[in-house]
Structure 1
Amino acid sequence: MPRPRKEDARDTRELVLAAASALLHEYGYLGVSMDAVADRVGVRKASLYHHFPGGKEQIVLDIAGRAIERDAAGFAEVIRNHPTARARLSAIATYVFSGPVQTGRMVRDALRFLSQEHQNRVFDHFFRLNHLYIRQVMEDGVASGELRPHDAGRSAWAFLDLISEMGSGGETPRDADLATWIVALLIDGLGA
C-alpha cells in the first residue's frame, strides 16, 4: 500500500484544524469530541490521532496558537494604518469581530481546560503577541496626551476582555458600531 504524500498529510491536518475550529466556535471546548471532529472531516478517529497524537488538547493548542498569531499580525497592520489610540482600538475590535476564530474564547477555553503546561504556553503566547500590542497602544495614547495616565496593562486586559466577551456571538451584532461603543466606554466612560 503506498504511503500518503506529505501534501496529503498537510491537507488532512488543515481539514482537521478547520473542522475542529468550527466545532469549537459553535459548541465550545466541552461540546467537542474527537468523534465529532472525525465525523466532520470524514476520517476515522485513528487518523486524527495519527496527525494529532496529543488528541483534542493538541488540536486546541494548534488552533489557539494560529488564532493568536493571526490576530497579532492583524493588530500590527491596524496599528500601522491608524494614527490615534481611539482609531487603533476601534479598528482592532472591528478586526477581532470579523475573524473566523474568536481568539479570546479560544484562549479562555484553553486556560480552563488544557493541562497546566499547555495553559502556560497559550497564556505566554497570547501575552507576548496580543496583550503587549494593546498595552503599547494604551501607552502611546498616554504619551501623546490622548489618554490620561493609567495602568496600561490593566486597561489592555479590560479591552481584550470586552471585545472577547462581546464579540463571542449571541444577540449583539459584531460590527464597527459595537467596536466604537466599546472604545468609547473604555476611553470616555459613562460619566456625564
Structure 2
Amino acid sequence: MDTKLLIINIATKLFQQKGYIGVGLNEILKECGISKGSLYHHFPNGKEELLMACLHSLNEAITGDIKEIFEGHSTTKEATNAMIEKLIVNFEAEGTLSGYTFSSIVSEMASLSDSVRKACTKLYSEIQTIYFHKLVADGFTNEEASSIALMITASIEGAMLLCLMQKTMEPLQVVSQLLPQILETRRS
C-alpha cells in the first residue's frame, strides 16, 4: 500500500473513532509509522487537508457499497433491508460501524469548516440520490421520493450513531423493522 493511502486509511479510522479534534497529528504519525515530513509531503496543508481526503475516500466507499446493494435488489424495501442487515452483521462482528458512518466527524467539524461541511453535504446528497432513484423506480413521485430519501438517510445515520453510542445494534434493528412498514404505507 502506498504511503498516502496508508495515511488516509489510518487517519479515517482514527477520526471515526475519536473525532477530528480528538486525534492529533502525532497519533496519526505514530499509527502510520511515518515522519511528519512524509505526512506534509502528501498533505502540505496539514490535518484539514487530510480530513478532506478521508471524507473523499469515505464518500467513494460508502456510496459504492450502497449503489451495489440498491442495484442488486428490485425494490427500495428489499434494498434498505439488505443494507441495514449488512450494517447489523458488521456491527455484530466488529463492534463498530467505522467504515459506514462519518457522523462523529460531521458533528464536530461541519460548523468549523465550510470545506468539511460541503464535503459532508455532498456525501449525504449522493446517498439520498441513490435512494431517490430507487424510490422513483418503485413508483413514488419525485416529491415523495425526495422526502422519503431524506427520511431514510436521517433514520439510518441516526440509528448508526445511536448504535455506536449505546454499543448495541437495537437502533438499526428498529429502523430495519419500521422502514419497510413506512414504505408500504406510503405506497398504499
What's the CA shift string for 1:131-167, capped at 9, x where partnerless? 20011222233x1xxx699632232122112212222
1:1-192 to 2 correspondences below 5 Å = 11-96=2-87, 98=90, 100-105=98-103, 108-109=106-107, 112=110, 115-127=113-125, 129-141=126-138, 143=139, 151-168=144-161, 169-170=164-165, 171-173=167-169, 177=173, 180-184=176-180, 186-187=182-183
38 and 182 in structure 1: CA distance in 2 versus 1, 3 angstrom threshold: farther
SS at match of 2:47: helix
* Two-structure CA RMSD over aligned residues (Å): 3.0
1:73–1:158 CA distance, 2 compared to 1 (3 A):
same
Residues 16 and 37 of structure 1 are in contact (CA less than 8 Å); yes or no, is this contact kept in structure 2? yes
Gaps of 5+ in 1: 1-9
Which structure 2 residue ranges, 5 or more long, are not aligned?
A: 91-96
Q: Distance in 2 between matches of 1:163 and 1:95?
A: 12
Structure of larger gyration radius: 1
| Identical positions, percent | 19
- Cα deviation, 1:88-136, whole Å, max 9, x if unaligned, reads 1112333455464233426624861563134224423541x32200112
Superposition deviation, residue 12 in structure 1: 1.3
How many residue pairs get aligned? The number is 175
The amino acid across from 2:183 in the alignment is I
Q: Partners in 1 of 2:111 and 2:38 — Cα distance?
A: 23
Mark the CA change 1:123 to 1:82 in structure 2 (over 3 Å): closer, same or farther. same
- Contact 1:94–1:179 at 8 Å: present in 2 too? no
Over 3 Å counting, the alpha-carbon distance change for 1:122 and 1:67 in structure 2 is same
Q: What TM-score comes out, normalization by structure 1 length?
A: 0.74
Amino acid at match of 1:76: K
Q: Separation in 2 of the partners of 1:69 and 1:96?
A: 17
TM-score, reference length from structure 2: 0.75
Question: What is the Cα deviation at residue 71 of structure 1?
Answer: 2.0
Q: Whole-Å Cα distance in 1 between the matches of residues 160 and 38 of structure 2?
A: 34
Cα distance, 1:52 vs structure 2: 0.8
Name the aligned partner's letter for residue 73 of structure 1. Answer: G
